[in-house]
Amino acid sequence: MTVTISSDTLDFLLITAAASPDREVCGLLLGQGDRIDRLVPCTNVAAEPWHRFEIDPAALIAAHRAARGGGAAVIGHYHSHPTGLAEPSPRDAADAAPDGSIWLIAGGGRVTAWRAVAAGERHGRFDPLALACA
């Protein structure tokens, strides 16, 4: 399975992640199906944002409300691993719902894509996705 994203959007994610070396950045993925049209940066409200992320609930509710009103659908989210790899951690797996959402993870100067599923091949929660620039 392949997820598409524009090169400008991917570059924005890499630049944003690199600019925050001591805190995980996070945000929402808006689009349709397996096409990411836009990133919405959100405040990381986690108690320990240097190694965990939690999207600001107000931003999440606003995005879902906008989607119900005809706006772009929330198809997943992104976050960074400032001192780690661009792959899901065991903590990510523990926090992820097996809802089929797309996760983009930035780390080490790269971005990878994952789908949160039950019994995934990574930590029992994630299946890898190919990421293609469109």
Q: pLDDT for 26-85, tens place per residue?
A: 999 999 999 999 999 999 999 999 999 999 999 999 999 999 999 999 999 999 999 889
Query: Using CA atoms, how far apart are residues 31 and 76, in angstroms rounded to an integer?
Result: 9
What is the per-residue pLDDT for 83? 86
The reply to whether CATH 3.40.140.10 applies to domain 2-123 is yes
- The model carries a pTM of 0.96
Mean local confidence (pLDDT), 6-24: 96
User: Residues with Cβ < 8 Å from 55, sequence gap 6 or more?
Assistant: 26, 27, 28, 42, 43, 44, 45, 77
pLDDT band at 127 (very low <50, low <70, confident <90, very high): very high
Quick one: which of 15, 90, 24 has its CA closest to 55? 24
Q: What percent of the chain has pLDDT over 90?
A: 96
Look at residues 110, 40, 33, 37 and name the one whose alpha carbon lies nearest to residue 77. Answer: 40
Is 48 considered catalytic here? no
Of 24, 48, 87, 121, the catalytic one is: 24
Give the start-to-end residue ranges of the domains of the chain.
2-123
